[in-house]
């Protein structure tokens, strides 16, 4: 399966780390990076082929929760899985209530991330 993944994180190092991890995954063929939720929404509009989103919560301009609210309000996006990556476990319920499919604690472990990607890309 060829996956196009949108990495949404305001931290350049986190984006690069995820990029490096995803390069090792044979299912991931393309990666797009966004610095915040607003940037991510623009990229989603421009590229309807994105089929998985890795989303940070704490970001400037439009944070992860706001992104989820806007993103999930469009029924056309219902099939695209969103995996939230955060250091803050207390936000778990909130992200699921707003339409996230999964939650991973940072720092992300490669094998767990790949298992989640496999799970959601086949769902």
For residue 5, pLDDT over 90 is answered with yes
Please state the pTM of the whole predicted model.
0.96
* 80: Cβ contacts below 8 Å, ≥ 6 apart: 50, 51, 52, 53
pLDDT tops 90 at residue 123? no
Q: Strands (DSSP E) along the chain, which ranges? A: 3-8, 28-34, 52-56, 82-86, 102-105
65 three-class SS: helix
- Domain 13-108 indexed as CATH 3.40.50.2300: yes
Please state the φ and ψ torsions of residue 62, each to the nearest 5 degrees: -120, 115
Domain boundaries, the chain: 13-108
Q: What is the pLDDT of residues 21-45, one digit of tens each?
A: 999 999 999 999 999 999 999 999 9
pLDDT score recorded for residue 1: 76
CB contact set of 87 (below 8 Å; sequence gap of 6+) = 105, 106
Q: What is the pLDDT of residues 6-20, one digit of tens each?
A: 999 999 999 999 999
> What residues contact residue 76 under an 8 Å CB cut-off, 6+ apart?
none
Rg (CA), the chain: 13
- pLDDT tens for each residue of 58-108: 999 999 999 999 999 999 999 999 999 999 999 999 999 999 999 999 999
């Amino acid at each position: 399966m060829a996956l196009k993944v949108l990495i949404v994180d305001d931290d350049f190092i986190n984006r690069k780390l995820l990029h490096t991890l995803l390069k090792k995954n044979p299912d991931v063929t393309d990666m797009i990076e966004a610095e915040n939720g607003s940037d991510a929404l623009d990229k989603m509009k421009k590229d309807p082929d994105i089929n998985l989103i890795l989303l940070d919560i704490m970001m400037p301009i439009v944070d992860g929760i706001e992104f989820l609210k806007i993103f999930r309000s469009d029924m056309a996006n219902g099939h695209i899985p969103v995996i939230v990556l955060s250091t803050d476990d207390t936000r778990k319920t909130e992200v699921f209530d707003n339409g996230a499919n999964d939650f991973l604690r940072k720092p992300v472990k490669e094998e767990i991330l790949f298992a989640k990607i496999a799970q959601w890309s086949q769902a």
